[in-house]
A and B are shown apart, each in its own frame.
Chain A
């Protein structure tokens, strides 16, 4: 399994043709206390860069873009009741949705962990 990152602070874990998407530790620290998350429904077709989810803190609402193209197979239902999971464990239990990738080549355009950390360090 490998993890990829976007410049918009999403991560995607890829295992075979299934990806799990969330937002990064850096993103959650910038947003502050998350109060609401809207994840996509199963079956939704997403192109890379599409608005896939919404994450809200008290004073900000942000769109989460899909790092890759694919079809949503699951949304993290736990976030409806406990959006704070995104703060506590953004790169684990606070995942947003799972999808089946339609074009694995898109992953080549994303950053690996080292590149992302370097990217964040410059912000």
Chain B
């Protein structure tokens, strides 16, 4: 016979052994990664250039052939930028990426944030050189296709919302809000009513609403909510008067409810000469089923990353086109596109604004807005079409109601009796054991492999948990989430102490935010140099 000389002999797996800590800090596929400043150096580069430049004449980067000189402006001191070779770079960022949760990985029920699937066709189309590799100041005859994208998306947005016009250039939702409020301010001033200084904002609003109104010079007044989670229409109407410039309303609202009185509110606001701004953050719940224009809205921003599936990218870039009523459209920002009868597209900028758009309040950004987001959003819209977009809102609302009704017996749902919810279901921390709050439920969900819901928002509910499933989730995914949240909630109600130190299975345990804020360390400092300096 021959004996297996390698020494390797398959054995039955042994269960339950206790792991020793690793010297690397790694845990199998969970890999620690140092900072580029700790692994790179200023002599390494991952880029090869076609040819090294021959040194210009003069001292160092001194005099050039035509007498050009950087002279004393040459940067001589070390900058402190570490470089990595390409494989090190790929590994560094790949490892970092694996410490992130993304919608590609699993359910991401962040209420009010609309984390839906990001189709890869969007990415492919945005990268077509005809869109990705054109300069914003090229002669307009050379960018007719790009202007065509902007124009086509603008048509879709106005038709989907039933509005008159749209400002495409705002760079994100909050920038769009600012755009809408600036339109309102310009319209009031054009009417000689610049004295209207009050903007009414329901207390359940996103924080950006009051911040935007205050930035534009308005005084913000809160409007209370009713016990059922909607705007107190009577209180709002009572406050309306000749000093009111606008009302900013989120609809569907941040409690996940449709504002039933929206049309009546708009009529009352218009009757006193003020305007209605709608925060369109939650448009995903009604796209294809309700047009804000039919509810008397004057301005509404649309977060393309929420309703129209452009990626969130870990916090931007966003894009916040603003649809406008006929009353406000003349005041919208530059630049914008115009289509002539012969099909030619023009870009209306400062030069031609005088003829085409004399009442504009001005420019909000250097160029034409988030073109890369426009191509993605248009790709998504064309994929779904008018019928598909209607199905999107139906499925989003169905999924949210399914979660609400499946969990209302486990968690306190303060507005469960206020009718169906729209795109998101709201729960509170009422009923959890003493000392347990929303954050413990959230961190427990992390250990179950889910991204937590939105916590502590809206402010009108104590320990709010706002869950927005979107249309992206299958029934199986929802059922799994519901089972996990039920389990975590029951543990929180029973006072399971292990939740207080959750998450246990994430790349990091709970982080000390107090330490970070008391002694902010915002940039990396070489510990050796830092020590030498002390």
Which residues of A does B touch, CB under 8 Å?
33, 35-36, 56-59, 83-84
Contact = CB atoms under 8 A, between A and B. Distances in A.
A58 B518 CA distance: 9
Interface residues of B, number: 5
A33 B456 CA distance: 18
B141 interface: no
Contacts of B513: 58
B514 interface: yes
B86 to A, nearest CB: 39
15 contacts: A33-B514, A33-B518, A35-B514, A35-B517, A35-B518, A36-B517, A36-B518, A56-B517, A57-B514, A58-B513, A58-B514, A58-B517, A59-B456, A83-B518, A84-B518
A57 to B, nearest CB: 8
A80 B514 CA distance: 15
A88 B514 CA distance: 15
Interface of B: 456, 513-514, 517-518
Tell me if B's interface is mostly helix, strand, loop or mixed. Answer: helix
**A-B complex: 7 closest residue pairs judged by Cβ atoms:** A35-B517, A33-B514, A58-B513, A35-B518, A58-B517, A58-B514, A35-B514
A107 B518 CA distance: 34
A33 to B, nearest CB: 4
A33 B514 CA distance: 6
A58 B514 CA distance: 6
Given A33-B514, A35-B518, A83-B518, 12 more contacts: A33-B518, A35-B514, A35-B517, A36-B517, A36-B518, A56-B517, A57-B514, A58-B513, A58-B514, A58-B517, A59-B456, A84-B518
A25 to B, nearest CB: 19
Nearest to A33: B514
Contacts of A84: 518
Contacts of A36: 517-518
Contacts of B517: 35-36, 56, 58
Contacts of B514: 33, 35, 57-58
Nearest to A32: B514
A59 B518 CA distance: 12
Contacts of A57: 514
A57 B515 CA distance: 11
A56 B514 CA distance: 10
Contacts of B456: 59
A113 B458 CA distance: 35
Contacts of A58: 513-514, 517
A78 to B, nearest CB: 14
Contacts of A35: 514, 517-518
Nearest to A83: B518
B520 to A, nearest CB: 9
Most chain-B Cβ atoms within 10 A of its Cβ — which of A36, A58, A84? A58
A84 B513 CA distance: 14
